[in-house]
Amino acid sequence: MVTTLNFNEPGFAQDFKEFLGRRQNIDTDVSEVVRAILKDVQGRGDAALFDYTSRFDRLDLTEKTIRVSDQEIKAAKSHCSEETLEALSFAATRIDSFHRRHLPEGDAYTDVTGVTLEARWTAVSSAGIYVPGGKAAYPSSVLMNAIPAKCAGVERIVMVVPAPDGILNPLVLAAAELVGITEIYKVGGAQAIAALAYGTESIAPVDVITGPGNAYVAAAKREVFGTVGIDMIAGPSEILVLADGRNDPRWIAMDLLSQAEHDELAQAILITDDKDFAQATCKTVDEHLKDLPRADIARTSWNDHGVVIVVSSFEQAVPLINQLAPEHLQLAIDNPRAYAKEIKNAGSIFLGRLTPEAIGDYVAGPNHVLPTAGSARFSSGLSVLNFMKRNTLIECSSESLDIIGPRAMTLAEQEGLQAHARSIGIRLGNKE
């Protein structure tokens, strides 16, 4: 049964605190298993990768079959309808347009002392993108991960995707073909992350790994961080809908289920100032579940992790939202922009009654790879910056070194680092 909390009832603060604690520890700890897999792949390479793929995906691979062939990629399009391919292309164009606008610009100037300073951005050389292939296939994730990398200027993009029983979703391959990915491997899970991070005989290592996955994939990304860069540790999907009683309960109920259907650990939260509306929405959720194809998954998610919070005013809701820091936030209320200004912590915000979260998963333009489990307090969604790094350049002239060098020497001496001080002093003629 879905949990209901009322802001004005005694004990709410404690109940909400406990809810926050449960929410941020919702995933299963699989670290020990994952570490063993990573170590095995690092040590045995392809042999370990093939063993795990056979065990978990029931697929026997060799060095000749691990990579998806060009023919397979091209043939995938023939299994997709023209309508679907057009929608995929439409989405890709919008995603590219949005992300290309956020490419950072370098900066160079000469300051008053005569020192020339510069900051420049360059793309990483290679990136690996993980595309889930378990409970559902996600061609949209191909676009959301690959297009920012392309916009950033990454030269080599590698895609790994599990192929249970040897089956690959044609639209996933069609999406890869659309964005120009030709290096695709039929592996998934922690073993795929290990291959991308450490390399095997068949898969050369990459610099950055991005993309969502299950608990094993998330734990593997956490373990390999430092050897490679990662986008984030993604947990179960989340949605928080702030809605008033002027909404149609059928709309809001379906919005909540749009994330609940991802998996059993996903979380849907409704905050409203109308108790009757809350009850009507919960009733409608049950009605929608009668004919939803993924009803079993969505029902478990809603009953186990769904929460309804009733407040007296939306002013009470704002601090709750900032504490929750949801992955997706829908403001299905009047004047949503006024409240959005007060929201500091959210992965992506959807404004108004006509902007369902699902539009952001596919065609809006911003990325759908977003921070979860409260990490929107300190992190952002996937962007071109995840595939770029900044270098700084410094150039001193004789005159500028004369001005800034002695101060640097003073600080170095205070820290007890005499070689630092002398490396400057020797250029200033201060020989001892």
pLDDT of residue 137: 78
Q: What's the first-to-final CA gap in the chain, in angstroms? A: 79
Q: Per DSSP, what are the bridge partners of residue 185? A: 67, 160
Distance (Å, whole) CA 3 – CA 302: 9
pLDDT, mean of each 10-residue run, the chain (432 residues):
91 90 68 96 98 97 96 92 97 98 97 98 98 80 98 98 94 96 96 98 98 92 97 92 98 97 94 97 97 96 95 96 97 96 97 97 97 94 98 97 97 98 92 48
Which of 344, 364, 384 represents a domain boundary (last residue)? 364
Q: Which of 328, 395, 399, 413 is catalytic?
A: 328
Of 327, 357, 399, 415, catalytic: 327
Q: Tell me, what's the pLDDT at 319?
A: 96
247, 331: one domain = yes
Given this model, what pLDDT does residue 24 score?
Answer: 56
Number of compact structural domains in the chain: 3
Is 328 an annotated catalytic residue? yes
Q: Is 420 a known active-site residue?
A: no
Question: Do 202 and 244 fall within a single domain?
Answer: no
Residue 80 sits in a domain whose CATH number is 3.40.50.1980
Please, how many CA atoms are within 13 Å of residue 379, restricted to the half-sphere of its CB? 18
Looking at residue 27, its pLDDT comes to 54
> Taking a C-beta distance cutoff of 8 angstroms, is the pair 184, 161 a contact?
yes
Is position 48 within any domain?
A: yes
How many beta carbons lie within 10 A of that of residue 337, not counting itself?
10
Looking at residue 339, its pLDDT comes to: 95
Backbone angles phi, psi at 282, to 5 degrees: -60, -40
Are the CB atoms for 372 and 327 separated by under 8 Å?
Answer: yes
Decide if 57 contacts 188 (C-beta within 8 A): yes
Domain of 213, in residue numbers: 31-101+118-233
How far is it, in rounded angstroms, from Cα 142 to Cα 109?
Answer: 39
**Euclidean distance between CA atoms 258 and 426, whole angstroms:** 67
- Model pLDDT, residue 25: 54
* Residues 239 and 308 both lie in one domain: yes
The answer to whether 265 touches 27, Cβ cutoff 8 Å, is yes
